[in-house]
Amino acid sequence: MKIDHSLPLEYGTDQNQLNILGFWIFLGAEIMLFGTLFASYFTLVDRTGSGPSGAEIFEITPVLIETIVLLTSSFVIGLGVHAMRIGRTKAMITFYAITLLLGLTFLGVEIYEFMHYVHIGAGLQVSAFTAILLTTLGTHGAHVTFGLVWGFFIILQVRKHGITPETANKSFIFSLYWHFLDVVWIFIFSFVYLKGMM
Amino acid sequence: MEFFERFAIPHPSAPIYASMVAIGLTVIAIVAGLTYFKKWGYLWREWLTTVDHKRIGIMYLISALLMLFRGGVDAIMMRSQTAIPENTLLDAQHYNEVFTTHGIVMIIFMAMPFIYALMNFVVPLQIGARDVAFPRLNALSFWLFFMGAMLFNISFVIGGSPDAGWTAYFPLAGNEFSTSVGTNYYALALQIAGLGTLMSGINFIVTILKMRAPGITLMKMPMFTWSALTANVIVVFAFPVLTVALIMMTMDRLFGTHFFATTNGGMDMLWANLFWVWGHPEVYILILPAFGVYSEVISTFARRNLYGYKSMVASMVGISFLSFLVWTHHFFTMGQGALTNSIFSVTTMAIAIPTGIKIFNWLFTMWKGKIEFTVPMLYAVGFIPIFTIGGVTGVMLAMASADYQYHNTMFLVAHFHYTIIPGVVFAMIAGLTYWWPKMFGFMLNERIGKWAFWFIAISFNVTFFPMFFTGLDGQARRMYTYSEATGFGPLNMLSFIGALGLAVGFALIAYNVYYSTRYASRNISADPWDARTLEWATQSPVPAYNFAITPQANSSEAFWDAKKKGHELFKGEVQKIHMPSNSGVPFIMSCIFFIWGFSFVFSLWIPAILATIGIFICMAQRSFERDPGYYISVKEIKETESKLRGA
Amino acid sequence: MKWNWAILSSIFTIITVLTGCNNKLMVLDPKGPQAQTQADVIMISIWTMSIIVAAVFILLVIMLVKYRASKQPADYEPPHIEGSKLVESICIGIPVIIVIFLSVITIQSNEQVETTPKGYEGQKPLVVYASSSDWKWHFSYPEENIETVNYLYIPTDRPLEFKLYSYGPITSFWIPQLGGQKYAMSDMVNTLHLAADVPGEYMGRNANFSGKGFAENTFDVKAMPQDEFEKWVEEVKATAKPLTQEKFDELLDPGHLGRLTYTGTHLDFSPAPEGENGEHHMMPSHTEHSAMAE
């Protein structure tokens, strides 16, 4: 593999460039996926049947914790990518590990939130609204879960092989994925929670 | 025993039992044959684990032809049942299953793999690339599609076929009205195949954007490559919508949610909207590559460059954009009101403009040409008038007020067959015949091919033209029977006769493949059609590495320029070539996906969880794997080249 | 390729022979103002589209006859021709004009078929609640306070307002000779405006696939002068049994029934899904439209 040193390592080989472009296109598909979920959410939001509405079940505290944790993790992974670019393997691994820990925290709070919903009678099968709410949140949560496993694998690989064009590429793509989840969350926060609570 | 009862067919009949036996015997025969001829190793090494875009293309092709047979048999059954009034060949339930599977098989499991067969084989060659951007992902795409198709097809003998129409409108497709697992098959099989398609979409966009040989700027790409690019852009934006819709459908059916079920706030119209937000772009995913094939074929056999290249490109981009803005025309009658209907009427009719440009450009490509009526050209030339009828009836259907009368009638059925059959099926046969020598190193027999064309073209019109009339006479689609008093009998009989003619035509194509495989000369040049684009510049059949030296292009028909204007295609020396190594993981992972889908269909949660874990293990394997690929040495390349040239 | 003409014209001949002895095609034989509008739109579009079809066919035949290889000298080399701005502008311009022309017609007629038919505006419409269940049609006449199953009597020369909904899968209410169809769904009510000019018996059916009994999901329509209609209503009131909730639930069971007649309607105990919720369901296409733009 030829390595072009004029570019950042993650872009350094032809295959790396293909991977990154491919991932951007994948994110385009993901935007459509979440876009469809949002469109369905807005269509079904008032169709609560005999179940509760958003205003009745949303609680600000866990949502704020989730938001802060996830935003911070997005910032930390940015630091991780910076560390990677200047070749500091240890710092990079540390930042990635912190990112994953924050992600784990987010997931924990979200699981608590879900259990709370089910507990107060807003389970998946209650109404069209609860179904789309939990599916939208759940799809995001599943993405985060997947990201945790994926990120963990990447840390293992960086530890083993150091920062190579291959691991740098994977780590960079993972960071794109993580930022994307953050952006999706911002939409969820604004249009599901804030709008629902107002 | 109770456990196994769920796999029984809810509505069995003699033909289904007969098919069960036939399927069983075929499987045994294949296994026995492979064992007897000791071909398991060959199958595994050369096909199941391959990541070569050409072989993947050929596997797509084989699947598409198999599914064409299956869908065709469905079609014959439908036309036989409706050939005479109050026929009792099929009962209502069977007829419903047959038209449902006919629709899904033809669109998802025949037309889609057919276009991906041609795209896989041709696009990397046309842009002078070694392979697609992600060869391993490409194999996964194929196997996911294949396992989706297989999952869908076993519904016929295990648990029952879907019977709610290929559109699967709720609440009909919900648990209340579709009690068998058929619709579960629909949701899961489409989901798995759809994932494969989405990956293909990403793969081809990256391939086309980043892997073009030097000199091929975007506006110097051959038209088929352009059509592949636009189609795959649509794939990436449309398929996620289907993914979400199918997830919701699965949850409604298996986990008791209320997305589309009309209790507790569920909304049947949301399904219709989501389905068509995917479904309408989907038909353009099918038709754009077909347009690409026609552009290549017409230009080759009119011996002229494609007329209006830029407007051809612009119209395809326009079509792909508009395709997302018209979905409501599939249900003008749902009660959106005059304003919404008018907006979607206009956007729909607007698609006729770029499509019209393409028709005229093809006509002007023939102008001052030197037209040779080879088999691919016959299909292209037959396409123009037939598709025009399909297109103008499409404009008629786009007028919402009139659509109130066409909707759900045979008129609509006639219209979309008039677009899809000349638009996609003709194109695929044309493309198949055209690229066949590149794929297999010999040509299909022209005489048999022409007979097949005339059978298909004439029978097609005999089958579908009468439907315009029965539709206007009040025959709704999807009716398994009608009374004699309606007067639909004679025209339906005519359709049936046409359908038999179509069957003869397709049988002739199958015979042609057999005949040509046995008797056709292997001693043909790499460029038997005197064609214009880069795929003809390499050997036939194409060596694994595609081009010994990466070609240099100067225009969209660089090979033609090399032949006629002295353009130098291959500059420089042969160098060693890096190739991706084969992998069995895509195949294994897709098999696990099959088990995963099957478990979901029957709500078998333990296997479903195990399969899910299996899928993640495969993904982990991919993450940790180091795959350096391998090199083909200069010596080997030179030997291959001289052998192919000598042959 | 001249064959194509031969094929098409022979098909036309066969079809005329086959259908010629019968009546006119139902949709093109309208008996009410809405169906008339639709038939007119259909005929206008057919004639307009014939221009395009003719243009393409003629051009195709010219190209194929004139430029076939057998007519050219062996050494003829076709020239390289890029597009021509003028030709391509014409190829865009004419379709654009045609699309604009048809758009205007569509927008006007869309409005017409969604409102009380022309010439009927001043009159008080007859309101009929038409609901489907597997695989029957229930017609409730709230003002007359009667209900029928699988047959529909209507007065001529009076606007008709059908309120459509379903006790099951989506169905589509369609009387081809009076006017095009609309969906009946279980969570909202659609309104279809029709009228009949000519007394007579017409075919009505569910056009949207709804399961096993779909093919037989038809109903008979009889249009008659107003006084005759009133006479029929009186007769029903005098002779038919009242519709009870138990009876109605029985009627809803999946299956086929013949013609049935009752006094009273099911609207009292099983009202149509009208009102705010009904309005609400009109939204999805708009919401998604904006979501697509994101």
Number of domains in chain B: 1
Total Cβ atoms within 10 A of residue C245: 11
Three-state SS sequence of C26-89: HHHCCCCHHHHHHHHHHHHHHHHHHHHHHHHHHHHHHHHHHCEHHHCCCCCCCCCCCCCHHHHH
> Does B33 reside within a domain?
no
- Which residue in the set A1, A26, A32 is minimally distant from B202, CB to CB? A26
Domain assignment present for B623: no
pLDDT of residue C13: 62
Asked if residues B464 and B501 have their Cβ atoms less than 8 Å apart, the reply is no
- Indicate whether A143 pLDDT > 90: yes
The sign one gets for the Cα dihedral B399, B403, B406, B412 is positive
Residues of the domain holding B247 = 51-300
* Closest among B198, B354, B342 to B282, alpha carbons compared: B198
Chains in contact with A, where contact means 3 or more Cβ–Cβ distances below 8 Å, are: B, C
Mean pLDDT score across all residues of chain A: 94
Which of B399, B460, B488 would best serve as a mutation to test chain C binding (most C beta carbons within 10 A)?
Answer: B399
What is the spatial distance between Cα A8 and Cα A13, in angstroms, rounded to a whole number?
10
Phi, psi of C229 (to 5 degrees): -60, -45
pLDDT band at C17 (very low <50, low <70, confident <90, very high): low
Secondary element (H or E) of residue C152: strand C151-155
Looking at the predicted structure, is the pLDDT value of residue C8 above 80? no
Summarised one tens digit per residue, pLDDT across range A4-51 is 778 888 888 889 999 999 999 999 999 999 999 999 999 999 999 889
Superfamily of domain C126-280: Cupredoxins -  blue copper proteins (2.60.40.420)
- The Cα-based distances of B265 to A51, B269, C183 in angstroms read 9, 12, 19
Contact C210, B172 (CB under 8 A): yes
Measured from the Cβ of residue B62, the count of other Cβ atoms closer than 10 Å reads: 13
In contact, A67 and A189? CB cutoff 8 Å: yes
Q: Which residues of B2-29 are buried (b: 16+ CB within 10 A; e: fewer)?
A: eeeeeeebebeeeebeeeeeeeeeeeee
Residues A36, C291: C-beta atoms closer than 8 Å: yes
Residue B20 pLDDT grade (very low, low, confident, very high; cuts 50, 70, 90): confident
Of all residues in chain A, what percent carry a pLDDT higher than 70? 99
Burial A99-124 (b: 16+ CB within 10 A, else e): bbebbebbbebbeebbeebeeeebbb
CB count within 10 Å of CB C162 equals 25
φ, ψ of residue A27 to 5 degrees: the values are -65, -35
> What is the pLDDT at residue B540?
85
Mean pLDDT of all residues in B261-273 = 91
Lowest mean pLDDT among A61-65, A104-108, C73-77, C95-99: C73-77
Nearest CA in chain A to C278: A47
Closest C-alpha to C153, from C227, C83, C100: C227
- ipTM of the complex in this document: 0.95
> Which two tokens mark C212?
């096993």
Question: Cβ contacts (< 8 Å) between B196 and chain A: which residues?
Answer: none
Q: Which two tokens stand for residue B65?
A: 């032809």
- CA–CA separation, B562 vs B384, rounded Å? 31
Which of C288, C290, C292 to probe the A interface (max A CBs under 10 A)?
C288
Between residues B328 and B13, the one the model is more confident about: B328
Q: What is the pLDDT of residue C236?
A: 95
Say if the Cβ atoms of C106 and B342 lie within 8 Å.
Answer: yes
State which amino acid sits at residue C285: S
Q: How does the average pLDDT of chain B come out, rounded?
A: 94
Q: Do A35 and C283 touch (CB under 8 A)?
A: no
The pLDDT of residue C22 is 53
Assess C264–B contact: CB distance below 8 Å, yes or no.
no
How would you classify the pairing of strands C151-155 and C218-224?
Answer: parallel
Q: Residue C291: what pLDDT?
A: 37
Quick one: which of B245, B397, A133 has its CA closest to C288? Answer: B245
Q: Report the Cα B397 to chain-centroid distance in Å.
A: 24
Q: Please give the Cα distance from C207 to B533 (Å, whole number).
A: 49
Question: Which pLDDT band, with edges at 50, 70 and 90, does B77 fall under?
Answer: very high
B480 contact C CB<8A: yes
Instruction: Name every chain A residue with its beta carbon within 8 A of the beta carbon of C284.
Output: 43
Sort residue A49 into left (φ over 0), alpha (ψ -120 to 50) or beta: left
CA nearest B499: which of B94, B71, B72, B65? B72
- pLDDT digit string (tens) for C157-196? 999 999 999 999 999 999 999 998 999 999 899 999 999 9
User: Cβ distance A14 to A2 under 8 Å?
Assistant: yes
Contact C164, C173 (CB under 8 A): yes
Instruction: Give the model's confidence band at C74: pLDDT under 50 very low, under 70 low, under 90 confident, else very high.
Output: confident
Secondary structure class of B252 (helix, strand, coil): helix
Partners of A186 on chain C (C-beta within 8 Å) are: none
The per-residue pLDDT of chain C, averaged, comes to 87
Contact B392 C285 (CB under 8 A): no
3-state secondary structure chain A: CCCCCCCCHHHCCHHHHHHHHHHHHHHHHHHHHHHHHHHHHHHHCCCCCCCCCHHHHCCHHHHHHHHHHHHHHHHHHHHHHHHHHCCCHHHHHHHHHHHHHHHHHHHHHHHHHHHHHHHCCCCCCCCHHHHHHHHHHHHHHHHHHHHHHHHHHHHHHHHHHCCCHHHHHHHHHHHHHHHHHHHHHHHHHHHHHHHHHC
DSSP assignment of B196-242: HHHHHHHHHHHHHHH-PPTT--GGGS-HHHHHHHHHHHHHHHHHHHH
| B481:C215 CB<8 A | yes
Q: CB distance from B35 to chain C under 8 Å?
A: no
Query: What pLDDT, on the 0 to 100 scale, is given for residue B185?
Result: 96
Strand C190-194, strand C160-166: pairing? antiparallel
Amino acid, res. A92:
M
Mean local confidence (pLDDT), A138-164: 96
In this complex, do A44 and B259 lie within 8 Å of one another by their Cβ atoms?
Answer: yes
pLDDT band, very low/low/confident/very high, at C19 (cuts 50, 70, 90): low
Distance from CA of A157 to the nearest CA of C (A): 37
Looking at chain B, which residue has its C-alpha nearest residue C174? B405
Under an 8 A CB cutoff, do C291 and A42 touch?
yes
Q: Which residues on B lie below 8 Å from C168 (Cβ)?
A: 171, 177
Query: Is residue B203 in a domain?
Result: yes
Length, in residues, of chain B? 647
Q: Give Cβ neighbours of residue B603 (< 8 Å, ≥ 6 apart).
A: B254
Against chain C, the chains showing at least 3 CB pairs within 8 Å are: A, B
CB contact, 8 Å: C82 with chain B?
yes
CATH number of B223's domain = 1.20.210.10
Q: What is the pLDDT of residues B305-352, one digit of tens each?
A: 999 999 999 999 999 999 999 999 999 999 999 999 999 999 999 999
Query: What CATH architecture is A9-197?
Result: Up-down Bundle (1.20)
- Evaluate whether B89 touches B81 at the Cβ level (below 8 Å): yes
Confidence band, pLDDT 50/70/90 cuts, at residue C292: very low
Best CA proximity match to C164, nearest among C152, C176, C172: C172
Domain boundaries, chain C: 26-71+84-113, 126-280
Whether the CB-CB separation of B610 and B504 falls below 8 Å is answered with no
The rounded distance, in Å, linking the Cα atoms of B601 and B610 is: 15
- Residue C35 has, within 13 A of its CA and on its CB side, a CA count of 23
Using pLDDT thresholds of 50, 70 and 90, give the confidence band for residue A172. Answer: very high
Q: What are phi and psi of B29, to 5 degrees?
A: -60, -40
First to last CA, chain C: 48
Instruction: Reply yes or no on whether the pLDDT at C284 is more than 50.
Output: no
| CB-based contact C15 B473, cutoff 8 Å | no
Whether B367 maps to a domain, the answer reads no
Tally C-beta pairs within 8 A across A and B: 115
The three-state secondary structure class of C129 is strand
- Mean pLDDT, to the nearest integer, of B580-598? 96
| CB within 8 Å: A43 and C292 | no
B172 touches chain A (CB under 8 A): no
How sure is the predictor about B55, in pLDDT bands with cuts at 50, 70 and 90?
very high
Mode of pairing for the β-strands spanning B630-632 and B577-579? antiparallel
Residues B228 and B379: their CA atoms lie apart, in Å, by: 20
The identity of residue B218, as a single letter, is: L
Phi first, then psi: give them for residue C105, nearest 5 degrees: -60, -45
User: Contact, B285 vs B115, CB < 8 A?
Assistant: yes
- Distance, CA of C48 to CA of B631 (rounded, Å): 62
How far does the CA of residue B431 sit from the closest CA of chain A (Å)?
28
B95-112 pLDDT, tens digit per residue, is 999 999 999 999 999 999
pLDDT for residue C136: 95
Rounded CA separation B69/B485 (Å) = 34
Residue-level length of chain C: 294
pLDDT at C290: 36
A38 touching C (Cβ < 8 Å) = yes
Best B210, B248, B624 member to test A by mutation, with max A CBs in 10 Å, is: B248
**Nearest-angstrom CA–CA distance, C155 and C166:** 24
In C174-203, the residues whose Cβ lies within 8 Å of chain B are 174, 176, 179-183, 185-188, 190-191, 203
- DSSP label at residue B319: H
Tell me which residue has tokens 């790499």: B526
3-state secondary structure of B573: coil
- Indicate the pLDDT class of residue A3, thresholds 50, 70 and 90: confident
**What would the mean pLDDT of B396-407 be, rounded to a whole number?**
96
Query: CB of B216 within 8 A of CB of B553?
Result: yes
Which chain A residues touch C282 with a CB distance below 8 Å? none
The residue-averaged pLDDT of B616-638 equals 91
With beta carbons less than 8 A apart as the criterion, state whether B204 and B292 touch: no
Angle between helices A165-187 and A60-85 (to 10 degrees): 160
pLDDT at residue B647, as a whole number? 52
Q: Name C154's bridge partners.
A: C223
Q: What's the pLDDT score for residue C121? A: 86
By Cβ distance, the residue of C53, C92, C191 closest to B389 is: C53
Q: What is the pLDDT of residue B421?
A: 96
**What pairs with residue C193 in β-bridges?**
C161
Structure confidence at residue A10 (pLDDT)? 86
Looking up tokens 């391993």 gives B136
Contact predicate B340/B325, CB 8 Å = no
